[in-house]
Structure 1
Amino acid sequence: MHGGAAPQVRAAAQVRLLMRADDLMSALLRIALDDKQPVQARLVAIRDGLDRAGLASKQEIEIGVTARPTYEDVLEGVLVDVAEDRDEDPNVLDAEVVDDTEEREKDHDRREADRAERKALTPQRTRPKVSTEERAAQERELLAQSPAEPETRASQLTREEYMLARDRGANFSSRGLGRNSGQG
């Protein structure tokens, strides 16, 4: 990114390496011949030295171009042509195509009849049509008939009084009935 891949920079680096090639090769040989070095490091140094001297074994790479197999090629060994493989074995029964459309229609009709019969046997509840005004009147009447809730201390307070009492520690549970939590 900063000019390291520029051709003149690469050429200069290559010149520096070539000028130091003898020193690098002698260091590599010292590692290869040093008995104190691990065997793996020595083998790598020997292999690199022989490679740079041009005495390494040749490696061959074969590159070939082949056409991709078609699906016919892939399935060729899998599929069997039935016409070719006819040997009239008496133990093999030929398949018979059965048109079950009529059977399915009968089954469908039977299920529909069962459904209709169950519906006829089930008592139908119908709600009377009631207008919104009539419904509101009915609800008012039911509310008037319901017993009044017992008067509690909390219901007598405004929201602000209730919140202030809760902040001071008043207990408005069914057992506390507005008493302060410090009271017995």
Structure 2
Amino acid sequence: MAKPYDLDERISEYIKKSSPSKLVPQYQVGSKVKVRITRLVDFGAFVVTMDPFALSGLIHNRHIPKEQELHVGQVIEAKVKEVKEDNKIEFRLDENLTVHEAFADLEVLKEKLPDHSSKVKPPDETKEIIHFLSKEFGIISDESKKKVEEMVNEVGVFRFTLSMMKILPVFKRDLVYHFLKEVEQVRDSL
């Protein structure tokens, strides 16, 4: 009895030999294709496309995430990495993008977004921070509000809030203490 992967390979070869070359699909690099795993080897997984052309290909180990388990007969979606001259295809699994490929994909998405300056912060978030500080400390001067806005614009809402939350538990809330610190600074400068 023939093994399933032998049968798949023989069918694939028959289709290739009997199909006119003009009918061979033109896969684009980066396009997603459903494939069935026909054989697992030390260096990767042999696959066949799930379309009428049943073209064979390979997913090399370096393009398979370590946590992903594959088995013969499994149908998965893979990305076309390269199409060879003999119509053999090299695939990769989407989760295993290289850093360069991931940033390239993000750049394409970024181009489609409306242009907004990264320094522009939603005024509501800054107001919420000021409101939070007024609950913690009472009255906040206009000078302090302006300083909060400047700091949020400089480092961003996330970093400002993170810094603020680290300091709050240990911060001395005694106004007299801070007043005396100011008096010391003025005294030392005289």
Answer with 1 or 2: which has the greater Rg: 1
Pairwise TM-score range, normalised by the shorter structure: under 0.3
Question: Relative CO higher for 1 or 2, CA cutoff 8 Å, sep ≥ 6?
Answer: 2
Higher strand share: 2
Tell me the TM-score normalized by structure 1. Answer: 0.21
